[in-house]
Chains A and B, each alone.
Chain A
Amino acid sequence: MEVLDFLVDPLRSGIDRRALLELALVGGFCGALGFWVVTERLAYSAESLSHGLLPGLVLAALAGAPLLLGAAGGALVAAALIAFAARDPRVGPDTGTAVAVTGLVGLGALLALAPESPQRLEELLFGDPLGVTDGDLAAAAVLLVLGGAALVALHRPLSAAAFDAGGAAAVGFRPALLRLVLLVLLAAAVAVAVQGLGTLLVLAVLIGPPLAVRHHARSPARAMLAGAAVAVLAGVVGIEVSFHAHSAAGASVALALCAAAALGSALRPSPGAGRRGAWPRSRRRAQASPGR
């Protein structure tokens, strides 16, 4: 059948098959982790981390080392710098993070644009799912398995802390520690996902799926599963579009993820059913303030 052929064509190409696999593995994990990214308001951190690791990527590309290594190292350095900068009370986290990220992106661009460098800046910025190596696939698989196991094991404590940090502390969990674990998972996800989507677009796979499902999911577990499914689906759509329209693969996937988010937000359930759905609305909770 023609339509079927049309859809299956990308699968005939080995390159696109691998791209699809990579995006499925990465999307599966990031779409689920994204629930916590949105719930715990980590979107800005995620974006800053992904932009900030650019120099690491470029250095790896220049040295001929695996990009994953550069991404991981870059993420660690970026995290440390951003944490240091954001903590300065004189300028606040918004400006502090901007300083750290701008500097890192500038450094990365400088290294990449210096005439001796091989011209790979586009790939690093916007991703290249079609250039996925076996190592990348392996890393994505490990991320999904280990990261997924971590999310499953930590599900109850994370939910308890998101619902009520004080109550979670009361039953023996330190919300600060849980947040740190989330940040570590986030850094790992960003480092792996950057191969396919590039530093500028990787945020889409972390917050697109949760935004797409947030008005429709009735529990955290379902939100995470639905998010993973949306991410994988968007990956498929993106590769299909890129294959048939000859558009840049990473960017096509990113657009598909954004479209999913827009669609999911627009298709809100009606207000009668909808009070159940609305999350996360404005955070109506008194920050744990001194005294009281």
Chain B
Amino acid sequence: MPSPLDLADLPFLREALLELVLLAVTGGVLGAWIVLRRLAFFSHAAGSATFPGLVAADASGVSPTIAGLAVALGYAGGVQRAGRAAGEGGRDHGEATALLLVAALATGVILASDVFESGAAVDRLLFGTLLGLDTADLVLSAVVAVIAAAGAVALGRTWSAVGFDPDGADALGLSAARADLSLLVLVAVAAVAAIPAVGVLLVTAIYVLPAAAARMFTTSIRGLVACALGVALAEGIVGLYLAYWLDVPAGPPVAMLGALVCLVLAAATGRSAA
């Protein structure tokens, strides 16, 4: 078993550690809102939908970050418009969304067989990487963390009001609609920031699972944010260590750890519906 201190000593691991810490901050702050506003599927979908864009970016030399952001923002806008059209938070479009995701993944695979020689590159996009993180990724994660924190402070009350009473939110006016769109946009951008480290498929590992675990023992929003932050940090660091030890990308260990923690906490604080 390698020494945990390697996380601080080895340069590439230091970068990975910093990345996961930054993502954990977002995971705590935004994650609380993702769980409260039932955006888990949306955050997963936003991540997965960028897959073909990222493959194409790799092929054409465009920055994957830009490509990913473009797709994710488009997705967020589309979901919000569809949601307002359906009038029910877009639940009527659940099947169309799911099919869109499948199409995105399938397109990515088809492109990938032309673009990539080995499956390893696809795995990197799907599940993240320890070694391939660069400064641009760190910068994006830092920026997202700052914006997420600022956004939550400024718009948290509106996000809460809209979540509590979506129909009544219309009465709150345009500012509420814009606040809601900004939440979706923020989640979509955050998803893109997480992709280099945890991959397209496991964005929820750092954004949803810690907050879900926190939800098991706290109900106040502040408590939720604080606990989600703590859990995300712990899971990120331990997950990174496991990834280093087992020589796998960071996404899978963080995901498994997150789910286990949720399960244990759910059973321990056992108030599941009969």
Instruction: Answer yes or no: are A and B bound together in one complex.
Output: yes
Chain A neighbourhood of B262, CB < 8 A: 85, 99, 103
Contact of B40 among A95, A109, A248 (CB under 8 A): A95
Chain B neighbourhood of A109, CB < 8 A: 126-127, 201-202, 248-249, 251-252, 255
Asked if A94 and B40 sit within 8 Å, CB to CB, the answer is: yes
List the one stretch of B2-10, B143-151, B203-211 in contact with chain A.
Answer: B203-211
Contact residue range for chain B?
A: 35 or more
Asked if A113 and B123 sit within 8 Å, CB to CB, the answer is: yes
Decide if A261 is an interface residue (CB 8 Å cutoff). yes
Contact of A91 among B98, B107, B215 (CB under 8 A): B215
Q: A119-B119, A204-B102 are in contact. Are A102 and B107 (CB under 8 A)?
A: no
Decide if B139 is an interface residue (CB 8 Å cutoff). no
Chain B neighbourhood of A211, CB < 8 A: 95-96, 99
Decide if A69 is an interface residue (CB 8 Å cutoff). no
Asked if A254 and B103 sit within 8 Å, CB to CB, the answer is: yes
Decide if B56 is an interface residue (CB 8 Å cutoff). no
Question: Once bound together, how far apart are the Cα atoms of A99 and B272, in whole Å?
Answer: 15
Q: A103-B258, A106-B251, A208-B99 are in contact. Are A98 and B208 (CB under 8 A)?
A: yes
Contact of A126 among B38, B109, B216 (CB under 8 A): B109
Asked if A204 and B106 sit within 8 Å, CB to CB, the answer is: yes
- Nearest chain A CB to B177's CB is how many angstroms away? 21
Chain B neighbourhood of A90, CB < 8 A: 215-216, 271
Chain B neighbourhood of A84, CB < 8 A: 272
Question: Once bound together, how far apart are the Cα atoms of A84 and B100, in whole Å?
Answer: 28
Question: Once bound together, how far apart are the Cα atoms of A110 and B102, in whole Å?
Answer: 22
Q: A107-B252, A248-B109 are in contact. Are A87 and B273 (CB under 8 A)?
A: yes
Contact of B202 among A41, A85, A105 (CB under 8 A): A105
Asked if A255 and B122 sit within 8 Å, CB to CB, the answer is: no
What 0/1 pattern do residues 220 to 245 of A give for CB contact below 8 A with B? 00000000000000000000000000
Q: A204-B99, A255-B106 are in contact. Are A106 and B212 (CB under 8 A)?
A: no
Chain A neighbourhood of B41, CB < 8 A: 44, 94, 98
Contact of B212 among A95, A107, A201, A208 (CB under 8 A): A95
Decide if B256 is an interface residue (CB 8 Å cutoff). yes
Chain A neighbourhood of B181, CB < 8 A: none
Decide if A22 is an interface residue (CB 8 Å cutoff). no
CB-based nearest A residue for B103 = A258
Chain B neighbourhood of A281, CB < 8 A: 92
Asked if A102 and B202 sit within 8 Å, CB to CB, the answer is: yes
Q: A84-B272, A110-B246 are in contact. Are A207 and B98 (CB under 8 A)?
A: yes
Contact of B94 among A41, A95, A98, A246 (CB under 8 A): A41
Please report which residues of chain A, range 43-64, place their CB below 8 angstroms from some CB of chain B when the two chains form the complex: 43-44, 47
Which has the most chain B C-beta neighbours within 10 Å: A105, A114, A211, A247? A105
Q: A102-B202, A106-B251 are in contact. Are A121 and B106 (CB under 8 A)?
A: no
Please report which residues of chain A, range 98-128, place their CB below 8 angstroms from some CB of chain B when the two chains form the complex: 98-100, 102-107, 109-110, 113-115, 119, 121-122, 125-126
Decide if B179 is an interface residue (CB 8 Å cutoff). no
Contact of A282 among B88, B95, B113 (CB under 8 A): B88
Decide if B154 is an interface residue (CB 8 Å cutoff). no
Question: Once bound together, how far apart are the Cα atoms of A203 and B106, in whole Å?
Answer: 12
CB-based nearest B residue for A34 = B95
Decide if B13 is an interface residue (CB 8 Å cutoff). no
Please report which residues of chain B, range 230-274, place their CB below 8 angstroms from some CB of chain A when the two chains form the complex: 246-249, 251-256, 258-260, 262-263, 266, 271-273
Q: A207-B95, A255-B107, A282-B88 are in contact. Are A102 and B259 (CB under 8 A)?
A: yes
Chain A neighbourhood of B176, CB < 8 A: none
What 0/1 pattern do residues 2 to 39 of B give for CB contact below 8 A with A? 00000000000000000000000000000000010010
Please report which residues of chain A, range 119-139, place their CB below 8 angstroms from some CB of chain B when the two chains form the complex: 119, 121-122, 125-126
Question: Once bound together, how far apart are the Cα atoms of A265 and B95, in whole Å?
Answer: 12
Asked if A88 and B273 sit within 8 Å, CB to CB, the answer is: yes
Decide if B86 is an interface residue (CB 8 Å cutoff). yes
Question: Once bound together, how far apart are the Cα atoms of A70 and B205, in whole Å?
Answer: 24
Question: Once bound together, how far apart are the Cα atoms of A110 and B38, in whole Å?
Answer: 27
CB-based nearest B residue for A107 = B256
- Nearest chain B CB to A200's CB is how many angstroms away? 5
Asked if B208 and A255 sit within 8 Å, CB to CB, the answer is: no
Q: Which 3 A-B pairs have the closest CB atoms?
A: A103-B259, A106-B255, A98-B40
Knowing that A103-B259, A113-B123 are A-B contacts, what are 20 other residue pairs whose CB atoms are under 8 Å apart, sorted by A's residue number?
A95-B208, A98-B44, A98-B209, A99-B263, A102-B44, A103-B260, A106-B202, A107-B252, A109-B249, A126-B109, A200-B102, A200-B201, A201-B106, A203-B99, A203-B102, A204-B99, A204-B102, A250-B109, A255-B107, A282-B86
